[in-house]
Amino acid sequence: MRNFFLSLEFTTVLFVILVLNASKHIVALCGAGLSAESGVPTFRGEGGFWRTFQATELATPKAFEKNPSRVWEFYHYRRELVLTKKPNRAHKALVDFEKKVLSANPKTQTFAVITQNVDGLSSNIKNLIEMHGSLFKTRCTKCGDRTENYDSPIALALKGTENSQFDINLPIEKLPSCSKCKGLLRPDVVWFGECLDNDILMKIDVELERCDLLLVIGTSGLVYPAAAYASIVSARGGKIAVFNIEKTYDADFEFIGSCGEILGNALMVNDGEDKHEVV
C-alpha cells in the first residue's frame, strides 16, 4: 500500500489496525538513524565524516592493516562520544514495545530487534541481535580472545586524540593490547568485506523465517546482508514498515520523519507526556 497521499496519523491508524495487532512475530531491523536523535553520527550523509575521512573508509580491514593508529583513534573517538550519549525516544519505544509483548496475557506476539548499530544504546532489549558487533568489545588479532571493554580511554596514549584534527601515528605498542598474549587488539565489529559471525547469521535466519512484520528503522539499506532482509521477509508474505527521515525502501507502510517522534505512536507505546502532534 502506497501512503504518499495519506497523513501520518491515518497511516498510523491503518498500520496498527491492519498489521501491528495482527502480526505474530515482529522484527525491528535498526540502523544508525535510530541513534541519530541521541547525537550519534550516521555513516552516510552529513554526519558521515570524521576528520577528513568518510567513516566507511575506516571501517575496513585494509584501513586497519595500513594504519592501525588512525583506525583506533577513530574508534576511541566514537567510544568516548557514545559513553556520553543516552538512549532516545525511539530506543525507548522499542524497549516498551518488547515489555508490552512479553507481559501480554495471553501471549499472542513475539518480538526481536536486529541492530546494525555498535553503540550499545539498545542494550535494554532482551531479544537483541547486534549483527555488526560492539564498540565496547575487543578482539585480539593474535589469539582471537574476545572481551568486553568499557575503559575510558581504552589505551592511555589515545587520551585526548579525539580532539585532534590530525593523525597522531601512535606506535603499535601504545595501541590497545591483549591482556593474555600482548597481541594488538582490534574493535570487535564487522568491517566491510568481513563475514558476519555464523551463529549470528543463524539467529537472524530464525527471526526472519517467522517474521510477518519487519520494522525497518533508520537504515539507508545499502549494506548487505541487512539490505536484503526486507525483500526476504516480503517474498515470504511478511509486511514491511519503514521509519526514516527520507524515502529509502518501497514498503507496505512508510513513516517519513524522525523515528524518535514517530515510532512510539506507531507501536502504541507512547505515554501521555511523550505524545506528539502528528501531521
Contacts of residue 138, defined as CB under 8 A and 6 or more positions apart, other chains included, come to 146, 147, 149, 154, 176, 185, 186, 187, 188
Residue closer to ligand BJW, measured from CB, 246 or 271: 246
How far apart CA 58 and CA 61 sit, in angstroms, is 8
| 46 to 7, 54, 217: CA distances (angstroms) | 28, 10, 18
Does 42 help bind ligand BJW (rule: CB under 6 A)? yes
208 binds Zn ion (CB under 5 A): no
Coil, helix or strand at residue 242: strand
Q: Give residues 91-110 in contact with ligand BJW (rule: CB under 6 A).
A: none
Residue with smaller CB distance to ligand BJW, 106 or 193: 193
- Site residues for Zn ion, window 91-130 (CB under 5 A)? none
* Residue with smaller CB distance to Zn ion, 35 or 138: 138
CB atoms within 10 A of CB 275: 10
Active-site residue 91, yes or no? no
Min separation Cβ 113 and ligand BJW, Å: 14
Q: Which listed residue (1, 83, 143, 228) binds Zn ion by CB under 5 A?
A: 143
Cα–Cα dist 264/272, whole Å: 11
Cα distance between residue 40 and residue 260, in whole Å = 13
- Cα–Cα distances in angstroms (integers) from residue 231 to residues 246, 251, 278, in the given order: 19, 10, 29
140 in contact with Zn ion (CB under 5 A): yes
**Dihedral sign from CA coordinates of 196, 201, 204, 208:** positive
* Interface with ligand BJW, residue 222, by CB under 6 A: yes
Q: Which is nearer to Zn ion, 48 or 183 (CB)?
A: 183
Contact between 118 and ligand BJW per CB under 6 A:
yes
Parallel, antiparallel, or unpaired for β 213-217 and 133-140?
unpaired
Binding residue (CB under 6 A) for ligand BJW from 12, 134, 138, 248: 248
Among 2, 126, 146, 180, contact with Zn ion (rule: CB under 5 A): 180
Active site residues: 132
Residues at the contact surface with ligand BJW, assessed by CB under 6 A? 31-33, 36-37, 42-44, 56, 59, 116, 118, 132, 189-195, 218-220, 222-225, 243-246, 248, 258-260
